[in-house]
Structures are given as C-alpha cells and as structure tokens.
Amino acid sequence: MIQDKNEQRTQLSDLGEFGLIDHLTKNFSIKNKTTIKSIGDDAAVLDFKDKQVVVSTDLLVEGIHFDLSYMPLKHLGYKAVVVNLSDVYAMNANASQITVSIAVSNRFPLEALEELYAGIETASKIYNIDVVGGDTTSSTSGLLISITAIGNINRSDTVYRNGAKPNDLLVVTGDIGAAYMGLQVLEREKQVFNVNPNNQPDLDAYTYIIERQLKPEARRDIVSLLKDLKVKPTAMIDISDGLSSEVLHLCKHSEVGCDLYENKIPLDPQVISTCEEFKIDSTTIALNGGEDYELLMTIRQEDYPKIKANPNFTVIGYIKQAKEGAHLITRENTKIPIKAQGWNGLKNQ
Amino acid sequence: MIQDKNEQRTQLSDLGEFGLIDHLTKNFSIKNKTTIKSIGDDAAVLDFKDKQVVVSTDLLVEGIHFDLSYMPLKHLGYKAVVVNLSDVYAMNANASQITVSIAVSNRFPLEALEELYAGIETASKIYNIDVVGGDTTSSTSGLLISITAIGNINRSDTVYRNGAKPNDLLVVTGDIGAAYMGLQVLEREKQVFNVNPNNQPDLDAYTYIIERQLKPEARRDIVSLLKDLKVKPTAMIDISDGLSSEVLHLCKHSEVGCDLYENKIPLDPQVISTCEEFKIDSTTIALNGGEDYELLMTIRQEDYPKIKANPNFTVIGYIKQAKEGAHLITRENTKIPIKAQGWNGLKNQ
C-alpha cells in the first residue's frame, strides 16, 4: 500500500550509518537560537542561557549490538548507559541525566528486566546521573534499548570535533583494541560451548580484555583531569568505532590531516598476547576494533608539558594540513593512508 | 547462560506499562540539583539556572504501535514527532529540539526511510523544532522509532500533574475519541482489502476521524493561548491513553477525586455517527479510546470567565476531595467509578 514496487530501491547498506544520517537530515535547518550544535558531533549542544545543555542518544539492538548468550543483562544495562555518557564526556561536559527506553518481547520475564535495570542503576550511581524518563513497550522480537544522555557545561569549555589545527598533538587516553579482542575470546568460547556445553572455560588470561568488552567505563575522570591540568583540547571525540574511523572524523570536521605513529598506539599486554594467539595484527585491531570508549583529542603544543607525565594520556601523532592527508606512519617508517574500517551497524546485518 | 530456569518468572503483562516502570525505577534516587522533576510526569524537568529544560521520550514499534499496511511512512514520521511534543506541551512548555533514533530491518529501502524523515521534517517545520541528534541502526525485524523531545520554560510557568485542588474545574481541549474510531475504520478497510484487493473504499464520511488517527496534531496553540488568556492551569496532562486513564493519573498525582459529566464530553459528529454505525457507545470510546493528544487540565474557578467563551476549551467536571473518589456522572445522573481501560502496550501483544 505504501511501497511502489517500481520505485528505485537503494540498499541502506550502500550508504553506511553515517551516510544514511547525513542523507536523511541534509534538508533540516536550525530554527532556534538555543540550538548551538546540531547533528554532526558526539552530542548536540543547546544553549539555555546560563549553561549549555549536551544531549546524546544511542540505540542498542539485540542480535546487532549485543549477544545475550555471553552478555549478562546487568552488564548490558551498565554498558548501555556508559556508551551514552562517553559521548557527553567527549564534549568535555558533565553528564547529569539520562532517559531509558526499552522494547522487549514476551521472551523476557520481569526478572530479566530487573537485572538490566540493576546495571543501569549501578552505572547511574557510579557516574552520578539521574534517570529522568523513559518508555517501556513490547517488541515483536528481542530486546532493544534506547538511551538519551543529557549533560551541561560552561559555554567556554565545550570542545567540538572541529577545532584541531595543524601542529596540534593527537592524544589518546588509556589503551585501545581490548574490547574487540575481548569479543573475539567470547565468540570463541561460545563456539566451544555450542560443541561441548560441559566445557569449563579458563578465561584468566583474558580478564582485562573481557571486562573491556562486557563492562566498559566512560572517561568521566578525563574531563575533570583536563580541568585540573588546565588543558582545553582543541578537538575531542570518543572512540566507539575504532581509532582510524574516529581520527578521520576528527580530521574531516576540523579540515586537517594527520600523521599517526604505529609505534605510539597504546596497547595492553593482554591485547598483544591475544592478538598473537589469534594470529591477528594488533595495529589492525587498534585501528579498526572499536568499542574502546576512550577519548581521542588534539591539544596545543604548548600544553604538552601539562600532560606528558600523566599515564592517562599518550601522544600518538600530529595534526597536519588537510592537503597532506591522514596517514599511519608504520614501524618501518612507511606512510599508509588511514582508511575507516570500523564497525558498521548497517553493514553487519 | 544468563537465565536460571528455576527462577521465578513474572509475566510483564501482569504489571502493565506503568507498573513495570514504577517497579524497575523504584530504587533510583535523585543526585543532581539540576533534576527538578524525574519519572512520573509527562516529561522530566531539569533546571539549568535561567530556564527549566523539559525532556520527554517515546518508543514506537511496528506491529505494536503502528501498522504500515494503512499508515503511510510520512504520516508515521509526522505522528512520531507530534506524540512526543504533546508531552512537552502538557508541561506548559515550549518544545525546541528532538533527537530521532530508528532501527530498521533490511526490508526497508532507503526511499522508505526518506518518506519517514520527510514526515519528521514536516512536523519539525510546523512545530518549529530542531532535530539535533539521533542514531540509525539495523533491526532483526521491522521498524522502531525512538524520539526524545526537549523543551524549555520559565521556572514559574511549569505545570505538573500534581497541582489540582478540590473545586478546580476539569477542562479538556478539542474533542476526543476520534483517533480511536479512525483506527476502527482503517482496520475494517484492511479486512475488506484482504478479502477483495480491488475494492475501492469510500472514506468521505470518515475524513476527520481518519486524520485524527493518521496525522494527529499536538496542542502547541493551547500553550500560547493559555499565556494570552493569563491562565495557568493547576495541573495538566496530555490524553494519549484515553480520558479515563488520564483523569485517574491526574487525580492520583494531585491526591484528589473528581466528578466527570458524561454529557459534557466533547465529541465530533463523525465520532457519534461512526460509533452508531459500529454499534459502540461513544462515551466508552471517549473514555478509553486514546491517542487523542488533547490536553486535560484543571483550572481555578476564578479563571473560568477567561476560558468560557473559547471553543478550544470544554469544562467536563470538577475536582473533589480524594476521599470522594473519581466518578463519571451519567446522563441519567448515576455515579459510576472511573476505571482505566486505556490502551496498554504490554498487554496488547
């Protein structure tokens, strides 16, 4: 009734997630003075006079974003919150409220949702945020979680993706690649379990990387640390889709290029050993793995002394002119163009 | 792996939508001074110094909230926005931004999503709001839309559900029951179409009620009208679940009772004639139909002269002491306790 079968059909997967959003929203215009930053950053920024309001939203779908065969519901609730807060922190803002909406099929008993909400509550306590609204409804299949996070920030403190300038330092927090390798281990254990349900897995060698996958943390501490250190990044983004994808986002929005040094990428020893075990290149994982929820930022050269002794920060490269492009400088000192191969929700199905 | 089969299983349908939200969030506490009103009203209110921020969120699931066999996607996009804005207006606030997240299965081509977003864009223009964020992902089945609406309001103007006092007048905007009867007509036409696809339906007699179902409007005009008339309602709520359900919400939150007069309920002539045709009692439809998106409010007796000549408002009853209960006064002048029988997303599956 609503679809003309002779119409041109463009597959969603042809556009990818970002292309689709860009495409669908390209005709939207800003009509309110309160809208400072709309679609195109980690979060929207709204100016309600005294403070800017930061709003970010995410949708998590069973079978697409999570697999309940190894993801406990409590962890899922926790992670769903953290993933959203990460976007607020990436604006250099303080997260203060969330709304949580869920759609569930009849397959889930109340106790399952209690577990889910226990995780949400735990995250809310740890990150000091209030759950201020939501919606609960049935779904025809599986579980779906939609969370909107709201934060606030002094106008002059907000950090966008578009402020990076040539010669700025490219800095990443923590270490990366662990969440993806944790997922590989869990997927392998699931296969083993399917073959032999009595097999007891020994996961001691993978505790860090599995925790990074099942119970990631958002870098709230970095926002206050930057304040204490009196460093305001020129640009910032959270690493949800993999380092290469986020570096390209940051360069595109800032209209700059960059050199990223392979030997500077911070990797946990468990990532290195697990990559060896799986016979995967650890740089590939760091660049394309995703779900790290670390922050990628650019800072002015003169701010380097303030961060250099701090183990939370690693300088991984430099911002260049746009015309020079974005490159990985390998250990062998060859220059390879950076390509985004991060996780893509629409292609993965 | 996560479910112990010996655990107690409580069916979600036993709790109903509101019971489930209450149950799941009962241990959540407020930790930020910026949180003025959390779960329990049409929208959350956050105080960011100069203005209060109003946030509301809704989740619409295919096969649960809408049926694409008679709901054009453009109308669906429009309605999804309007439904959310209605909650913001019910706080007496100005809606200014929304975020839109969608999950879609591969069944939908790009053109279908363009239609959906065209409806969202149209609503955004008409209601003067900005789409400031969102998420787009795949689903394993069907279409799901999650919208968060954000509004703002001067602190002293905010209207909650809990301010109704005995002797206040119970007032409703517009007319009610039409959206539900529109749905009945559409469902009947779908059955006819299934039997004989060549049948051309003549829907001229139902244009108003079908439009109320497929393309409802939110009462933004009422918020500015109340301002012009210098009337601040003592309590307000939007009618999404049916008049009886909303009257009971309002009475419960305000700790009052009420008398609602059957002969005062505003009905459109098409609702009356269609109810006769379907052999349904029109009062039952008005009380339990839902999806009207009109506003139900209570106002002080002294404000009555300001609204009495205005066709947008109908006084349908009085607020009483809580101990007197909530009753419908029938045309035969008998008193019947009001019961909520509104649409229930979790029971309907």
Which chain A residues contact residue B141 at CB under 8 A?
140-142
Report the residue of B136, B160, B193, B346 to disrupt the A interface, i.e. the one with the largest count of A CBs within 10 Å.
Answer: B136
Is residue A19 less than 8 Å (CB to CB) from chain B? no
Domain assignment of residue B92, given as a range: 21-157
State which H helix or E strand residue A249 sits in.
Answer: helix A243-254
B298/B307 Cα distance (integer angstroms): 12
A276/A285 Cα distance (integer angstroms): 12
Task: Establish if B319 belongs to a structural domain.
Answer: yes
Tell if the CB–CB gap between B57 and A1 is shorter than 8 Å: no
Task: Please provide the average confidence, as pLDDT, over all residues in chain B.
Answer: 84
Lowest mean pLDDT among A284-298, B92-106, B247-261: B92-106
Residue B165, class by beta-carbon neighbours within 10 Å (0-12 exposed, 13-18 middle, 19+ buried)?
Answer: middle
Question: Is the same domain home to B309 and B232?
Answer: yes
Task: Establish if B83 belongs to a structural domain.
Answer: yes
Question: Is the same domain home to A225 and A269?
Answer: yes
A170/A233 Cα distance (integer angstroms): 10
Question: Tens of pLDDT along B85-126?
Answer: 999 999 898 888 888 888 888 788 777 888 888 898 899 889
Give the closest-approach CA distance of B180 to chain A in angstroms. 19
* Tokens encoding B202: 């003549």
Question: Residue B112 has what pLDDT?
Answer: 82
Question: Is the same domain home to A153 and A173?
Answer: no
Is residue A108 less than 8 Å (CB to CB) from chain B? yes
Is residue A135 less than 8 Å (CB to CB) from chain B? yes
Average pLDDT on A165-173 reads 98
| Nearest CA among A222, A208, A201 for reference residue A177 | A208
* Tokens encoding B26: 């009962």
Tell if the CB–CB gap between B30 and A130 is shorter than 8 Å: yes
Q: Is 70 exceeded by the pLDDT of residue A124?
A: yes
B149/A317 Cα distance (integer angstroms): 40
Average pLDDT on A204-225 reads 94
Pairing between β-strand B94-104 and β-strand B44-48 as defined by DSSP bridges: unpaired
Q: Which of A132, A157, A182 is the last residue of a domain?
A: A157
A337: left (phi over 0), alpha (psi -120 to 50) or beta: beta
| Nearest CA among A175, A185, A188, A174 for reference residue A207 | A185
State which H helix or E strand residue B313 sits in.
Answer: strand B313-321
Nearest Cα residue in chain A from B1: A69
Domain with residue B201: its CATH number is 3.90.650.10
Q: Which of A128, A157, A186 is the last residue of a domain?
A: A157
Q: How many Cα atoms are found within 13 Å in the side-chain-facing hemisphere of B111? A: 9
Question: Is the same domain home to A131 and A210?
Answer: no
Task: Establish if A135 belongs to a structural domain.
Answer: yes
Tell if the CB–CB gap between A103 and B63 is shorter than 8 Å: no
Q: How many domains does chain B have?
A: 2
Asked if B242 contacts B341 with a C-beta cutoff of 8 angstroms, the reply is: yes
| Nearest CA among B56, B322, B330, B328 for reference residue A132 | B56
Evaluated on CA atoms B246, B248, B252, B257, the torsion sign reads positive
Give the closest-approach CA distance of B314 to chain A in angstroms. 30
| Structure confidence at residue B26 as a pLDDT band (50, 70, 90) | low
| Structure confidence at residue B17 as a pLDDT band (50, 70, 90) | very low
A122/A217 Cα distance (integer angstroms): 12
Task: Establish if A349 belongs to a structural domain.
Answer: no
Which chain B residues contact residue A11 at CB under 8 A?
106, 109-110
